Amino acid sequence: MTSSTPERTPRVIGHVVGGRRVEEAQRYGAVHDPATGRVTGRVALASAADVDAAVAAALAAFPGWSRTGLSRRVEILFAFHELLRGHRDEIARLVSAEHGKVVSDAEGEVARALENVEFATGIPHLLKGGFSQQVSTGVDVHEVKQPLGVMVGITPFNFPAMVPLWMIPTAIACGNTFVLKPSERDPSASLLVARLLAEAGLPDGVVNVVQGDRVAVDRLLEHPDVAAISFVGSTPVARHVYETGTRHGKRVQALGGAKNHLVVLPDAELDAAADAAVSAGYGSAGERCMAISVVVAVGDVADALVEAIRTRVAGLVVGPGNDPASQMGPLITAEHRDRVAARVGSAVDEGAVLVLDGRDGPPVGPGADGQDTSGGFFLRPSLVDHVRPEHTVYREEIFGPVLSVVRVETFDDALRLVDENPYGNGAAIFTRDGGAARRFEVEVQAGMVGVNVPIPVPVGYYSFGGWKGSLFGDSHMYGPEGIHFATRTKVVTSRWPDPATSSIDLGFPRTR
């Protein structure tokens, strides 16, 4: 088979603007299959003019959509939910093919996306305002929640289906229109989501998709017709998005990086703690903002815990995401793989102990369909012991299959270590001691906490978000705080007086 055959010709991945597919661009980027390294697509990279067209389409659709009845919005969301369910396998395969995660992991991502659509279908109840009758003689007060206008989502490569569906359902349920700028590394899922929304009956222009890089992002941040921006990504970019967006008068929620700690006390169930550390540390090759990247071993549990983790990691099957036998797939790009490998090397140079070196090991096999994986972006799991807070592997967000073990003497030492870390996305504790667990829950400086659970992503009717350097802005993502972020409150004070009782009164209004 030659590279000119249809199966080997990279397809063009474009935009959706006002319900129309747009594939023409001045610049294109490469989309890879991370398991083989092969280029499988050419993604259009939006210019500022392309962004302007998408925002204009959303702005034009806003008056009609915001006036659309709640029952009709819900009808469309229910139809979309059913279409999403019916295409969940197709979406999972798309995600696996461009991100590299195993298909079962991608299926879990779609399941979490469905939860957020389900939450948004309850919008008639969630948008109920308040009413107070007779606050003063003949005077009533009520409040309503109204949409903002054009909202923007800038989403990361690691969850190309789930994170856009954290944002879109809530935004459009509240009556806003939307422009999505997905990651240019795995953009195809966004087009399928847009297609399913259209099939569900969503009017043209309510949800638009612009592919692109920093050119598109910077134009969205400064565009005068954009009212609000939701972002998920690294902390340096989250800070840029927040500072630039707010400087241009926009409402911004920007979720940044993480360094999630799992504290294991001496009384913990050892097997459960080791299973959790491996599952949460190496799932999706560590490319999760909710991944456990640091195990804090307290007291004399350390040696046994490290050995239990080592035994489990040594047996993990690394391979292409579409192979049912694979437990962990490749990383997203060759450059990212090399950066992660360099951090493993720095840990050794700085004095940590490398229990398992992911840079070593046999080549990854061909997978179930015999594909050539010699050019794939694979890196096997690494386990690093005796890590100290000053080590680079501890200070930086690695975002790869590297699990660090920090040894401390006491529970107080562990809590202090977590709280002094600049990130505050999530933290977990494994223990049988209810008092210690409750104290950890109350005192730890993190936005999401697990007790004998390794940092679970909150279900759709709670909100997702961290503290400290993991969040810029004052609103978490989706759930109740998502409704707050996507609306603004208007308070109406009304009176229908008898003209005979009307008079001029220059005094300050009194409620009696």
pLDDT tens string 17-62: 999 999 999 999 999 999 999 999 999 999 999 999 999 999 999 9
Residue 80 belongs to a domain: yes
Q: What percent of the chain stands above pLDDT 70?
A: 98
CA distance 180 to 148: 16
Is 289 catalytic? The answer is yes
- Using the predicted structure, report yes or no on whether residue 3 has a pLDDT greater than 50: no
Q: What would the mean pLDDT of 426-442 be, rounded to a whole number?
A: 98
Residues spanned by the domain of 487? 11-257+466-491
Q: 6 exposed, middle or buried (CB, 10 Å; 0-12, 13-18, 19+)?
A: exposed
- Using the predicted structure, report yes or no on whether residue 4 has a pLDDT greater than 50: no
- Evaluate whether 390 touches 349 at the Cβ level (below 8 Å): no
The CATH number for 98's domain is 3.40.605.10
CA distance 491 to 483: 17
Band (pLDDT 50/70/90 cuts) for residue 246 is very high
The CATH number for 332's domain is 3.40.309.10
Do 61 and 26 lie in one domain? The reply is yes
Do 88 and 228 lie in one domain? The reply is yes
Domain count, the chain: 2
pLDDT (0 to 100) of residue 208: 98
Per-residue pLDDT tens over the stretch 258-270: 999 999 999 999 9
- Evaluate whether 109 touches 457 at the Cβ level (below 8 Å): no
pLDDT (0 to 100) of residue 365: 84
Count of C-beta atoms within a 10 Å radius of residue 86: 10
Q: How far is CA 6 from the centre of its chain?
A: 34
- Using the predicted structure, report yes or no on whether residue 102 has a pLDDT greater than 60: yes
Supply the mean pLDDT for the chain.
Answer: 95
Strands 402-408 and 382-385: parallel
- Evaluate whether 318 touches 364 at the Cβ level (below 8 Å): yes
Instruction: Name which of 192, 194, 163 is nearest 58 in CA terms.
Output: 194
Cα-only R_g, the chain:
25
Residue that is written with structure tokens 């709670």 in the block: 462
CA distance 219 to 107: 33
Do 251 and 270 lie in one domain? The reply is no
Residue 457 belongs to a domain: no
Q: What would the mean pLDDT of 467-479 be, rounded to a whole number?
A: 95
DSSP state of 328: B
Please tell me which residue in 22, 167, 289, 290 is annotated as part of the active site.
Answer: 289
Count of C-beta atoms within a 10 Å radius of residue 234: 16
Tell me the pTM.
Answer: 0.94
Do 278 and 184 lie in one domain? The reply is no
- Using the predicted structure, report yes or no on whether residue 164 has a pLDDT greater than 60: yes
pLDDT (0 to 100) of residue 421: 97
Instruction: Name which of 48, 189, 169, 191 is nearest 120 in CA terms.
Output: 169
Strands 448-451 and 150-154: unpaired
Q: What would the mean pLDDT of 97-107 be, rounded to a whole number?
A: 97
Band (pLDDT 50/70/90 cuts) for residue 511 is low
Residue 458 belongs to a domain: no
CA distance 206 to 62: 7
Do 308 and 242 lie in one domain? The reply is no
Residue 401 belongs to a domain: yes
Residue 506 belongs to a domain: no
Structure tokens at 173: 């349920």
pLDDT (0 to 100) of residue 6: 41
- Using the predicted structure, report yes or no on whether residue 85 has a pLDDT greater than 70: yes
Do 139 and 264 lie in one domain? The reply is no
Residue 2 belongs to a domain: no
Do 199 and 348 lie in one domain? The reply is no
In 280-326, beta strands by DSSP E: 292-298
Residue 189 belongs to a domain: yes
Return the half-sphere exposure (C-beta side, CA atoms, 13 A cut-off) of residue 304: 14
Count of C-beta atoms within a 10 Å radius of residue 29: 17
Do 426 and 476 lie in one domain? The reply is no
pLDDT (0 to 100) of residue 503: 76
- Evaluate whether 84 touches 194 at the Cβ level (below 8 Å): no
CA distance 122 to 136: 34
Q: What would the mean pLDDT of 72-99 be, rounded to a whole number?
A: 98
Do 210 and 319 lie in one domain? The reply is no
Q: What percent of the chain stands above pLDDT 90?
A: 91
Do 372 and 408 lie in one domain? The reply is yes
pLDDT (0 to 100) of residue 2: 36
CA distance 485 to 265: 38
Length of the chain, in residues: 512
Residue 456 belongs to a domain: no
Do 248 and 268 lie in one domain? The reply is no
Do 231 and 278 lie in one domain? The reply is no
- Evaluate whether 472 touches 455 at the Cβ level (below 8 Å): no
